Amino acid sequence: MRLQRLAIMTGVIRRGMILRDFFKEAVRCNVPGLPYVDDRDRIVGRISIRDVYKHIAVPDSILRLADAMGDQTDRLDLPEMKVLEALNMPVEDCLLGNIPSVSPSSAIVKALALMEVHNTSYIFLIEDGVYKGVVTRMVVAKRMLECVMDLEREQRLTHTGNEAK
């Protein structure tokens, strides 16, 4: 099974956009990250929801205390004003330089291995420098389930056909 069939087509993020633009597109496409392109539409980075949260809401100092925090952490919560301020930040404030990517004709196993190496839940499909979409672990899981259901359906049909003879 090749990745091309699993690609989720998304928009890209570019200079001049703010985090709100990133969130809108990521939520619209239900993906955890988007490519960042330069003025010539070359992918030069990525923006990840996970890293945005780490930047605006969950600094390393809180991570060390996460298990010890109680449920009543109102002083640490994100007030609406902080959210408004954060979503108006330029996307470049959260830009990541590493760009996990594979060819659209690559095997799923390669994509999953690279996602693991890069500690990410998504990978970009890039062919000859052109962005062809993103594949997430959840899309792969969905496709695996569809394959199993197709096989079970075929087995039921075959089994039913043999009984009729």
Per-residue pLDDT of the chain (165 residues; tens, 9 = 90+): 578 889 999 999 999 999 999 999 999 999 999 999 999 999 999 999 999 988 887 666 666 665 666 665 555 555 566 777 888 999 999 999 999 999 999 999 999 999 999 999 999 999 999 999 999 999 999 988 988 998 888 888 876 666 655
Locus of tokens 């956009």 = 17
* Whole-number pLDDT of residue 141: 93
Number of domains in the chain: 1
Instruction: Confirm if 13 and 25 have CB atoms less than 8 A apart.
Output: yes
Instruction: Confirm if 6 and 148 have CB atoms less than 8 A apart.
Output: no
CATH code (residue 160): 3.10.580.10
Q: How far apart are CA 49 and CA 46, in angstroms?
A: 10
Phi-psi region of 132 (alpha: psi -120 to 50; beta: other; left: phi over 0): alpha
The pTM of the full predicted model, rounded to 2 decimals, is 0.80
Q: How far apart are CA 12 and CA 99, in angstroms?
A: 13
* Whole-number pLDDT of residue 99: 94
Domain span holding position 68: 3-164
Phi-psi region of 63 (alpha: psi -120 to 50; beta: other; left: phi over 0): alpha
